[in-house]
Amino acid sequence: MRLLLAGILLPFAVGSPSITAKIDGLDKPCGSAVFGKYLYVDSYGSGVLARIDPATSKLVKKVKIGSGPCGIVAGGGALWAEDYYQNAILRINPSTMKVTNRIRVGRKPWDVAYGFGSVWASNQASGTVSRINPKTRRVVKTIVVPGPVTCIRQGAGAIWVAAQNTNDIFRLDPTTNTAAKIAIGHGSELCVDVHDDGIWVSDDVAGSVTHIDPAGTIVATIKVGTSPSDGTRGPDGLEWIPLLGDGAIARIDPATDKLVDTIPVIGKPFVARSAFGSVWVGDFAGTQLWRLTP
């Protein structure tokens, strides 16, 4: 989606986590990934990759890597980030934070995942997923997925990808490189968060999160707020879903499929990731990365 929507501050829930650190110096911070003892965060606005020391919650190094990076993942001894405007996946050496390879994929790669011995890129404008061999650093398969694909994740025995302006998400079989459609039934599915106990699908149009089981059966649909986006499983065992339009984060109990609370963070939370005992969320309208600790 990569749009900025009007924010509404939600009430603070008693007992909710709060922001324990604010890390400045970024520009529309987006995705993050763990490699070794550091958290790496890319800035969609500036094309910069930042290294964060979780021991101090300080930004310790920044390097320009591309244009419009958001999705980033660790795997195969490297970091992999998408270069949204240059139609490439970047292989990054975590030690030097320098780009070692630029791998041409489809148009407007939105996100990247690592699993089943491969790197996977969701190409929003092409409606495809590129499968990359991390050793040869070449695309070995291009899988057609109807619709403008967005978030991509590995887990529950497959690769899962969401798309905008559709009623579906897609399960990619890594052994056959084929995509199976799963109907969710709403207007747009922006992101997926995948675990063995289910897949949580954020619908930015309906303002809901749909829980499906690994077989693709809908278990529950939970209303959460305005424009839910890219969520994560927190260290507290709850699903944390940024609400881009509300300036808040919704927490869902995966055991009961109930909304536990909403945590106000004021800005435009877009991507949440769990690491080092905390949840890290970037302000997609600003310069800060927030650290929330349950």
Q: pLDDT value at position 167? A: 83
Between CA 209 and CA 26 the distance in angstroms is: 29
- The third-level CATH classification (topology) of the domain covering 19-292 is Methylamine Dehydrogenase; Chain H (2.130.10)
DSSP per residue, 107-174: SSEEEEEEETTEEEEEETTTTEEEEEETTTTEEEEEEE-SS-EEEEEEETTEEEEEESSSSEEEEEET
Confidence of residue 188 (pLDDT cuts 50, 70, 90): confident
CB atoms within 10 A of CB 138: 11
Domain ranges of the chain: 19-292
Q: Per residue in 113-165, pLDDT tens? A: 999 999 999 999 999 999 999 999 999 999 999 889 999 999 999 999 999 88
Between CA 112 and CA 131 the distance in angstroms is: 10
Q: pLDDT value at position 165? A: 85
> Does the pLDDT value for residue 3 go beyond 80?
no
Give residue 247's identity as a one-letter amino acid code.
G
Tell how strand 289-292 and strand 128-133 pair up: unpaired
CB atoms within 10 A of CB 234: 21
Between CA 203 and CA 195 the distance in angstroms is: 18
Q: Per residue in 196-241, pLDDT tens? A: 999 999 999 999 999 999 999 999 999 999 999 999 999 999 999 9
Nearest to 42 by CA among 293, 277, 279, 273: 273
> Does the pLDDT value for residue 8 go beyond 80?
no
CB 169, CB 176: distance < 8 Å: no
Work out the mean pLDDT of the chain and round it to a whole number. Answer: 93
Instruction: Kindly report the backbone phi and psi dihedral angles of residue 127, in degrees, each rounded to the nearest multiple of 5, phi listed first.
Output: 65, 40
